[in-house]
C-alpha cells in the first residue's frame, strides 16, 4: 500500500497499518494480489492473455502452462517498443488448447476455497465445494429416507457415505466411519427403543472424528408426549442443540410414500386405524432429500435453524385416496379400521413395544391428525413442496 504515490510524502505502509495519518486529498494506492480467475482458462481470449503478460499479471510460462497460449515476440520488446512486440501464434495456440483435457463445468464453483478451508471453517461461511472428495455421512443411509438424502446429495455432486449397523459394528465403530466427513446427517431408524442414546452416541462419534456439523432428521411435532417415538426425537433434538456441533434440524411430516404399497396393490385401498379426515401436512420424500441436501451443501443461514417439511396445504388420508383415484383413473376406497383389529391383524407381527407405540400414534392421529405448515420447504428451496396429487402422479403415474 502506498500513500501519496509520486507526491512529496510518498511512503509504503503495511497493508494492515493502523493509525496512519492521511492528509485530506492524499491518494492511497493499494495493489492487491492476483485472483485465481474463474472459468475455463483455455477459453480466455488469447489477446487478453497477451495483455496480461505485458502488464506483468501473468508470466510468460503461465501463459502457455495455464492458458495454452503460444506467445511470439519478446516481452522486453513490448516494453521498449523495439523489435517484435509480444503476440501469439493463433494456429499453435489452437493446437495447444485442443491437446488439453476438456474443462469440467463442475469445477466452476464461484467460491471454491478448497476442502481444507471448508473443513476448518466447519462450513460456517463457505459454500461446500462440489468436489466428490468432500464426503457427507448419512447415518441410517440405507433406509428409504437415507436413500432419498443420498440421491439428492449425489445429484448435487457431493459424495454421500451411507452408514448403517455394519459400520457401527466394524472396528473403530462409527468414529472411524465418520473420519474425513464434513457433515453428519443423523437419521435414527424407525421406532428405535432408545433414540436419545443412539443420537448421543452418534454426536460423540462425530466430535471424536472431527466432524463439525450435523443435520438432524427429526419429525414434525416432536414434543408430543402421547407418542413416545416423537418425544424421543424431542430429546434427541435437545442433544443435537447442546452437542457443540453446528446444527440444523429438519422436522418432516408423515411421508406420502407411506401409502404407496397400499396404492400399488391390485385393489388399491387405504385402510387406516384413525380418522380418514384428520388433517396432516404430508411430506414428499424427494422434497425431504432436496431440503436435506440444500442445508448440507449451503449451510449459510441454516445453522441453528429448525425447518418443518411438508407439501403445500393440509390434507387427509381421504384426500390421498382421491388424488390416487385421479391419477389411476379408478376408484380407491378409503376407510377407518378398528385399532384393536389392526393390533390383532396387520400389527400382530410387530414387537409388543412397537405395536403399543403405533397404537398411541394412531390415537393421536385420530384426535389431532399431524398438521404441518408448508413454508419450511419454501424457506430452504425457494419453492413450495410438490403438491400431493403431483407426488402421487410421479410415484404411480
Ligand atoms: N415414515 C414417516 O412418515 C416419517 C416421517 C417423519 C420422520 N420419520 C423418521 O425418519 C427416520 C427414518 O425412517 P426410515 O423409514 O427411512 O428408516 P428405517 O428404514 O427404519 O431405518 C434406516 C436404517 O437404519 C438402520 N437400522 C435399522 N435398525 C437399526 C438399529 N437398531 N441401529 C442402528 N441402525 C439401524 C438400517 O440400515 P442398516 O441395515 O444398514 O443397518 C435402516 O436401513 C425415522 O427416525 C422416522 O421416525 C419418518
Centre of ligand 1 from the C-alpha of residue 224, in Å: 20
Among protein residues, the one with the nearest Cα to ligand 1's atom 7 is 219
Alpha carbons 279 and 367: distance in angstroms, whole number: 10
Residue 117 domain flag = no
Q: CA of 311: how far to CAs of 258, 286, 295, 361, 377, in Å?
A: 15, 11, 18, 21, 8
Task: State whether residue 89 is helix, strand or coil.
Answer: coil
pLDDT of 110:
59
Instruction: Indicate the range of 57-66, 102-111, 146-155, 165-174 predicted with least confidence.
Output: 102-111
Alpha carbons 348 and 355: distance in angstroms, whole number: 8
Which one of 137, 143, 166 would you pick to mutate in the ligand 1 pocket, going by the greatest count of ligand atoms within 8 A of its CB?
A: 143
| Closest-CA residue to 334 (of 345, 323, 344, 343) | 323
Residue 113 domain flag = no
Alpha carbons 275 and 304: distance in angstroms, whole number: 36
Measured CA angle at 349 (ends 347, 350), to 5 deg: 70
Alpha carbons 239 and 228: distance in angstroms, whole number: 17
State the average pLDDT over residues 354-358.
Answer: 98
Centre of ligand 1 from the C-alpha of residue 230, in Å: 14
Same domain membership, residue 63 and residue 19: no
Q: Which residue has the higher pLDDT, 80 or 211?
A: 211
Same domain membership, residue 147 and residue 241: yes
pLDDT of 19:
85
Q: What is the DSSP-derived secondary structure letter of residue 33?
A: P
Same domain membership, residue 190 and residue 86: no
H helix runs in 37-134, sequence order:
46-54, 60-65, 75-80, 90-98, 114-120
Q: What is the DSSP-derived secondary structure letter of residue 280?
A: B
Alpha carbons 286 and 80: distance in angstroms, whole number: 64
Q: Is the pLDDT of residue 87 over 90?
A: yes
Among protein residues, the one with the nearest Cα to ligand 1's atom 48 is 254
Same domain membership, residue 66 and residue 7: no
Residue 38 domain flag = no
- pLDDT tens figures, 278-318: 999 999 999 999 999 999 999 999 999 999 999 999 999 99
- pLDDT tens figures, 88-131: 999 999 999 999 988 766 555 656 665 555 555 554 444 454 44
Same domain membership, residue 89 and residue 141: no
Same domain membership, residue 96 and residue 158: no
pLDDT of 124:
44
Q: Is the pLDDT of residue 33 over 90?
A: no
Among protein residues, the one with the nearest Cα to ligand 1's atom 38 is 164
Among protein residues, the one with the nearest Cα to ligand 1's atom 4 is 254
Q: Which residue has the higher pLDDT, 269 or 82?
A: 269
> Which numbered atom of ligand 1 lies nearest the CA of 142?
43
pLDDT of 113:
61
pLDDT of 78:
66
pLDDT of 131:
45
Among protein residues, the one with the nearest Cα to ligand 1's atom 28 is 189
Alpha carbons 290 and 149: distance in angstroms, whole number: 7
- 374 in contact with ligand 1, CB cutoff 6 A: no
- Beta-bridge partner residues of 280: 315, 370
Q: Is the pLDDT of residue 35 over 80?
A: no
Centre of ligand 1 from the C-alpha of residue 68, in Å: 52
Alpha carbons 134 and 111: distance in angstroms, whole number: 15
Same domain membership, residue 17 and residue 138: no
Same domain membership, residue 285 and residue 390: yes
Q: Which residue has the higher pLDDT, 13 or 115?
A: 13
| Closest-CA residue to 254 (of 228, 278, 290) | 278
The three cell numbers of residue 221 are 411435532
pLDDT band at 381 (very low <50, low <70, confident <90, very high): very high
pLDDT of 125:
42
Number of domains in the chain: 3
**Phi and psi of 146, rounded to 5°?**
-60, -40
Centre of ligand 1 from the C-alpha of residue 99, in Å: 50
Which one of 142, 161, 177, 189 would you pick to mutate in the ligand 1 pocket, going by the greatest count of ligand atoms within 8 A of its CB?
A: 189
Same domain membership, residue 290 and residue 161: yes
The answer to whether 374 and 381 are in contact (CB under 8 A) is no
Task: State whether residue 143 is helix, strand or coil.
Answer: coil
Among protein residues, the one with the nearest Cα to ligand 1's atom 21 is 189
Q: Is the pLDDT of residue 13 over 50?
A: yes
- pLDDT tens figures, 215-265: 999 999 999 999 999 999 999 999 999 999 999 999 999 999 999 999 999
Q: Is the pLDDT of residue 153 over 50?
A: yes
pLDDT of 123:
47
pLDDT of 365:
98
Q: What is the DSSP-derived secondary structure letter of residue 244?
A: S
- 254 in contact with ligand 1, CB cutoff 6 A: yes
| Closest-CA residue to 153 (of 299, 297, 301) | 297
Alpha carbons 202 and 168: distance in angstroms, whole number: 10
Measured CA angle at 154 (ends 149, 160), to 5 deg: 65
> Which numbered atom of ligand 1 lies nearest the CA of 218?
7
Chain centroid to Cα 284, Å, comes to 17
Q: Which domain holds residue 190?
A: 130-396
State the average pLDDT over residues 192-219.
Answer: 97
Same domain membership, residue 234 and residue 90: no
State the average pLDDT over residues 202-226.
Answer: 97
Alpha carbons 181 and 203: distance in angstroms, whole number: 13
Helix (H) or strand (E) holding 182: strand 181-187
Residue 240 makes CB contacts below 8 A (sequence gap 6+) with 186, 199, 203, 214, 216, 247, 249
State the average pLDDT over residues 45-69.
Answer: 93
Same domain membership, residue 329 and residue 288: yes
Residue 15 domain flag = yes
Q: What is the CATH number of the domain that holds 370?
A: 3.40.50.720
Paired sense of beta strands 2-3 and 11-12, if any: antiparallel
- 282 in contact with ligand 1, CB cutoff 6 A: no
- 144 in contact with ligand 1, CB cutoff 6 A: yes
The winner for highest mean pLDDT among 7-11, 120-124, 352-356 is 352-356
Alpha carbons 174 and 203: distance in angstroms, whole number: 10
Residue 110 domain flag = no
Same domain membership, residue 214 and residue 286: yes
Q: Tell me the pLDDT of the chain averaged across its residues.
A: 91
pLDDT band at 82 (very low <50, low <70, confident <90, very high): low
Centre of ligand 1 from the C-alpha of residue 193, in Å: 12
Amino acid at each position: 500500500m502506498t500513500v501519496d504515490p509520486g507526491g512529496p510524502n510518498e511512503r509504503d505502509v503495511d497493508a494492515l497499518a493502523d493509525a496512519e495519518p492521511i492528509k485530506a486529498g492524499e491518494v492511497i494506492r493499494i495493489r492487491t494480489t492476483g485472483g485465481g480467475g474463474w472459468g475455463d482458462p483455455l477459453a480466455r481470449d488469447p489477446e487478453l492473455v497477451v495483455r496480461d503478460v505485458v502488464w506483468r499479471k501473468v508470466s510468460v510460462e503461465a501463459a502457455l502452462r495455464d492458458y495454452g497460449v503460444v506467445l511470439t515476440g519478446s516481452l522486453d520488446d513490448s516494453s521498449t517498443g523495439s523489435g517484435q512486440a509480444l503476440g501469439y501464434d493463433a494456429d499453435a495456440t489452437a493446437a495447444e488448447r485442443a491437446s488439453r483435457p476438456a474443462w469440467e463445468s463442475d469445477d466452476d464453483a464461484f467460491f471454491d476455497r478448497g476442502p481444507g478451508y471448508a473443513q476448518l471453517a466447519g462450513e460456517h461461511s463457505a459454500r461446500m465445494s462440489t468436489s466428490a472428495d468432500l464426503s457427507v455421512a448419512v447415518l441410517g443411509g440405507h433406509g428409504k429416507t437415507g436413500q432419498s438424502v443420498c440421491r439428492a446429495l449425489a445429484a448435487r455432486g457431493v459424495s454421500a457415505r451411507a452408514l448403517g449397523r455394519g459400520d457401527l459394528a466394524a472396528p473403530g465403530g462409527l468414529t472411524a466411519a465418520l473420519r474425513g466427513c464434513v457433515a453428519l446427517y443423523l437419521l435414527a431408524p424407525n421406532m428405535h427403543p432408545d433414540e436419545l442414546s443412539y443420537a448421543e452416541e452418534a454426536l460423540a462419534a462425530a466430535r471424536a472424528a472431527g466432524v463439525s456439523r450435523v443435520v438432524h432428521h427429526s419429525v414434525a411435532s416432536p414434543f408430543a408426549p402421547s407418542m413416545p417415538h416423537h418425544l424421543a426425537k424431542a430429546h434427541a433434538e435437545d442433544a443435537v442443540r447442546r452437542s457443540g456441533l453446528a446444527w440444523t434440524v429438519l422436522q418432516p411430516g408423515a411421508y406420502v410414500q407411506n401409502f404407496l404399497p397400499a396404492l400399488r396393490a391390485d385393489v388399491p385401498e387405504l385402510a387406516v386405524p384413525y380418522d380418514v379426515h384428520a388433517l396432516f401436512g404430508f411430506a414428499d420424500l424427494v422434497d425431504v432429500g432436496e431440503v436435506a441436501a440444500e442445508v448440507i451443501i449451503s449451510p449459510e443461514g441454516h445453522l441453528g435453524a429448525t425447518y418443518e417439511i411438508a407439501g403445500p396445504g393440509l390434507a387427509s388420508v381421504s384426500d390421498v385416496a382421491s388424488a390416487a383415484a385421479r391419477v389411476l383413473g379408478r376408484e380407491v376406497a378409503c376407510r377407518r379400521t378398528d385399532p384393536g383389529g389392526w393390533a390383532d391383524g396387520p400389527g400382530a407381527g410387530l414387537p409388543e413395544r412397537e405395536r403399543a407405540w403405533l397404537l398411541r400414534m394412531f390415537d393421536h392421529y385420530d384426535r389431532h391428525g399431524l398438521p404441518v405448515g408448508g413454508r419450511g420447504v419454501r424457506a430452504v428451496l425457494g419453492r413450495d413442496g410438490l403438491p400431493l396429487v403431483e407426488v402421487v402422479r410421479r410415484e404411480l403415474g
